[in-house]
Structure 1
Amino acid sequence: MKKTPLAAFAGAIEWIVVALVFALIFRGFVVEAFKIPTGSMAPTLRGDHFHLTCHQCGKQFDVGFQAGRNRNPNIAKFTKCPVCGYLQRVGAPKTGGDRILVLKSIYQFREPERWDVFVFKNPTEPNINYIKRLVGLPGETIHIYDGDLFIDGEIARKPEKILEEMWMPVYSNDYLPSRPQEPRFSKDGDTWERPFTEEGGSWGYSQEGREISCSSKGISQLKYDSQTGNGFGAYYAYNASPAYPGEICSDLKMEYQVLLNDDTVKIGASINKYGRVYRGLADFEKNKMFLIKSYNGKEQVLASKDIPELKAKKSLPLSFNNADYRLSFSLGECSLEYVLGSKIGDIGKPGDSRKPQISLLCSGQAEFRHISIWRDMHYITYGVKRGDEPFELGEDEFFACGDNSPSSADSRLWDIEGIGNNGDKFPVGVVPREYVSGRAFMVYWPGSLKFKPDGKMPIPNVGQMRLIYGG
């Protein structure tokens, strides 16, 4: 029987209502979309921000929008390039925050895990949703020490994918200033200088400075000078603000591409932390790679591994880092790791030496390209409520921190009790289980691009669509 127009219309309305009901159920219990409002999780997740390009080196980076500082919502304030250090005031269109998807029911099927990026109701203002990284679980004792996280007295090492996301650039010779004599590389009007000092050997530089060669009969060093270049302070370019006083990050990484020109060459890198010198060294005369520690005039081989013989000129990527009390060294497809310790004091303390150092090592003949230096994310304790002292969590209590540690209101800073239902109170600094909403798992709409600086039409930033890594 043929339906009347009225019956067909009623059927369409019924389907729309059913679809709407299913959409509401899906949003309420399965997946919900959120827009990141602030930069407390930057650079992992960005709130409203400005996407900038350094006028000198061409490095692209983001600076957060702060309503209190940015009177004109379309103009970025004075900022500093995180790679070459150039100071500039840039007019740029404001870009909206990342939009993410959150699994709302996942914690009904599994327990929250450390390093999850999760959404919860702010215990001090339950009508506001917050997004942070979960770092402390029920019953644990949390201790933030010199930027690192300790759980029940043991260091909590970040999973590899999360660590890779958290490395912050300090230097790259792929981004060198085009006008180094311009006096805008410090507030004192300094010009740019190559931030390295040579110790031993003969070093040469290409005209543009992006290739460095070494010829040396013994181990020579190219030492990074953190006084001349960007320092290792807990500075986040996203915040357009200076480093916190006394907060120096000593978890560092060096990477480069090396062209090996003889079969007896030795290449690597060294990192000085707490007065101990750690070296990752590949010796092609012995066909071995080593992790070595030097302290108080004594040298100790921590680990070694065979590497393939070098039969001809070859270009290889090298990476060496010291993060979360663990050394990691890789050359091509060969890699070596060594755990230095797990408790505070196992590898020394900041008082032993406040000045970290990182250097490139070479013996023989080699050419280096794509040299970059990075520092790890550093949890700030300067001036926060729950910093250097251990903090105990009770049953069904979690501890949350933002990746943008200097600019995150989180468990470290809350100074009043949480507000519960029926007049109940929660301990200061905790996220109660009942306020946990879900786990963020995807950036489905990153901050949009625009055809023109003053353009109104947003362009999907497809290249930044990504999964959000957690525990």
Structure 2
Amino acid sequence: MSLAILSRKNKEKNKPQPKETKQQTALSLVFMFACVLIFHAIVFQPFQIPSGSMAPTLLGNHLRTTCEQCGYTFKLDSHINPKQIRSEPRIICPMCSWPNQVKNAQVSAGDRIIVQKFAYEFTDPKRWDVVVFKTPQYLTNLGGIESRGPINDFIKRCIGLPNENLRILDGNVYVQKLTKSADNTYTPDGDYKIARKNENLTAQRAMFVPIYYSKYIPIDSGKVKERVVNMGGTRQAFYWSPPWVPTEADKEQWDVNKVRSYTYKGSKPSTITFDFKKSGAFNIFSIYPYNQFRRPFSSQHPIEDIRLAVTVEPTNGPTEVTLSTTGRWADGLSQLSANISDKGQISLVKANGETQQIETIASAITTPIKSNTRLELWFVDQQLTLWRDGEIIIKAEYDLPLETLKNRAAAPLTPQVSITVNDAVKLHDVQLDRDIYYTDRPLNRVARGGLHRERGQGNRVIEDSNLQIGDAEFFMVGDNTPWSNDSRFWDDTEPWVSANYMSGDRQRDRGIVPRELLVGKAMVVFYPGTSSIIKPQFGDMRLIN
């Protein structure tokens, strides 16, 4: 290459480039702004959770506190400032019942989430999805001006799908499929069946409510005089005792006091049983600790659906383990057990509480428990499941006609939960949770679609009118079921929404959310609620299930 050519290329390279004009800069900014608007309008949109109706899954403005005694971190609703309550307020720990002082709690803003707006453009929400939508509720208290269409964004969990009847009974959701005819009438297709959350196991795990975890032990051992405090003008005691109790004959062989892992030193079968009254102030029935500054903070509903988890460490080779609870099976109240023998044989066993008849309802084979093994027993939504190291290894379930379910006896307030071992063993990270309880009559209001069982009233069931969900319609309920303004309680429907998107019968349409009002699917908590904008709780960032 000649020197003349190189010289010419260098001159062209060093030649000043034309500067971007103000017009080009403005056009670039307009283009970028338009892209952001399109992205915001069509793809994703941020929202902030305003209230506690989806707690504990999603949190509105709340108080965050760590128990002074056991170290358990938990949240509770802050719809009012507890420091303005006349009586001395205390925050009761759900794990050890310690009455924490309010001054140590942090006031935190609501979770900030991302909503995928195109999620339901071509498909319907699945049952148990967390959905953002415009509320069809008829509102008249807007500065004296009647509402002119849906304006408020709500976030709830979808529990009712198109073309089905829906009932809420004993904390569970029951649905009956409908077939739509040419004249727009609906015909039932079979009987009601329970809507099991195993359709979305990540959602089920998100909806478990902790009862007691063995790693939380109060420093004071639960009996000191400081646990007697003034609450609401009266003196109340919030004592605590180790809730896992060995049988009297074997109590010397067990170490379960003031320890996070339980040790059995014997060589014959022995059992520890969970005592709900000893475990804490909130565990005698389905109370939501998040609501403890509301009055009343919960209705008294029984605990029946539970999750029991434990890591088993054998001391002397392969061991046999049995996890048990009590609950209503097809033929009545029964002891329900999952057993893994030292040979690896698995069995799900039912012992009827009245006839004492023992029946194996499922069996399988696995490897013996020789080293640390995580076991979980779920009795949820009329299904008994045994998990091993995060995988389902055996399950059994039952279904009954709705009329039979309505007429059966109510569940006891708490089940009898136990762990039985056949040889020396250590039990680590023992956890007991309860399932979410869909209240059918909180605060003496019969829920839309609710079947309310009156305890102590001859097992009488009070019914609301039948709830029918039509084409492109949905039923939405908050996870904080005692204190959620949702499909169960909307008394009227926006006239414009009813006329344009629904049947036009506002009483029939109450509680129903038409497809046209769906905004999108809640995907992720990208900025969890925090007391300081510069100190986000990164550990609480999570997918929404």
One-letter amino acid matched to 2:494: G
Q: Greater helix percent: which structure?
A: 2
Is 1:204 aligned to 2:266, yes or no? no
**Contact 1:105–1:438 (8 Å) recurs in 2:** yes
* Equivalent residue number for residue 338 of structure 1: 395
User: Cα RMSD between the aligned structures?
Assistant: 2.8
Distance 2:530 2:238 in 1: 35
Which of 62, 79, 94 aligns to 1:49? It is 62
Q: TM-score, with normalisation over the residues of structure 1?
A: 0.89
- Which structure 2 residues correspond to residues 70-469 of structure 1 after superposition, within 5 A? 70=82, 78-91=90-103, 92-124=105-137, 125=139, 126-152=150-176, 153-158=192-197, 159-179=200-220, 180-183=222-225, 184=227, 188-199=236-247, 200-202=249-251, 203-205=253-255, 208-216=258-266, 218-230=268-280, 231-240=283-292, 241=294, 244-263=298-317, 265-274=319-328, 275-284=333-342, 286-295=343-352, 296-309=355-368, 314-332=371-389, 335-343=392-400, 344=402, 345=404, 349-351=408-410, 353-382=412-441, 383-386=445-448, 387-388=450-451, 389=463, 390-421=466-497, 426=506, 427-448=509-530, 450=532, 457-469=533-545
Distance 2:48 2:69 in 1: 33
Most deviating of 339-348 and 97-106: 339-348
Query: Larger Cα Rg: Structure 1 or Structure 2?
Result: 2
Displacement of 1:334? 6.8
One-letter amino acid matched to 1:154: K
**Contact 1:86–1:185 (8 Å) recurs in 2:** no
- Do the aligned partners of residues 401 and 464 (structure 1) sit closer, same or farther apart at CA in structure 2, a change above 3 Å counting? same
Displacement of 1:391? 1.6
Q: TM-score, with normalisation over the residues of structure 2?
A: 0.77
- Do the aligned partners of residues 127 and 347 (structure 1) sit closer, same or farther apart at CA in structure 2, a change above 3 Å counting? closer
Q: Where does the alignment leave 5 or more consecutive residues of structure 1 unmatched?
A: 451-456
Displacement of 1:392? 1.2
Displacement of 1:53? 0.2
**Contact 1:182–1:192 (8 Å) recurs in 2:** no
Task: Write the deviation string for residues 366-410 of structure 1: whole angstroms up to 9, x where unpaired.
Answer: 122221211011111123332214421122321000111111100
Displacement of 1:4? 7.9
One-letter amino acid matched to 1:460: P
Task: Write the deviation string for residues 407-460 of structure 1: whole angstroms up to 9, x where unpaired.
Answer: 11001111223342597654111112221111111212111364xxxxxx5223
- Do the aligned partners of residues 185 and 53 (structure 1) sit closer, same or farther apart at CA in structure 2, a change above 3 Å counting? farther
SS at match of 1:21: helix
Q: Greater strand percent: which structure?
A: 1
Distance 1:347 1:189 in 2: 38
**Contact 1:325–1:347 (8 Å) recurs in 2:** no
Q: Where does the alignment leave 5 or more consecutive residues of structure 2 unmatched?
A: 1-14, 140-149, 177-191, 230-234, 452-462
Count of aligned pairs: 456
Most deviating of 402-411 and 198-207: 198-207
Task: Write the deviation string for residues 277-328 of structure 1: whole angstroms up to 9, x where unpaired.
Answer: 10111110x3312211100211111122223246xx6222221120111111
